[in-house]
Amino acid sequence: AEHYSPALTSVAVDTAGLGERAAHVMLKMIQSRTTRAEDHIGAVSLVVRESSGPDRNSQVGDAA
pLDDT digit string, tens, across residues 40-53: 888 899 999 888 87
| Cα torsion angle, 25, 31, 35, 38, sign | negative
Do 45 and 11 form a contact (C-beta atoms < 8 A)? yes
pLDDT digit string, tens, across residues 21-46: 999 999 998 999 887 778 888 889 99
Domain boundaries, the chain: 10-47
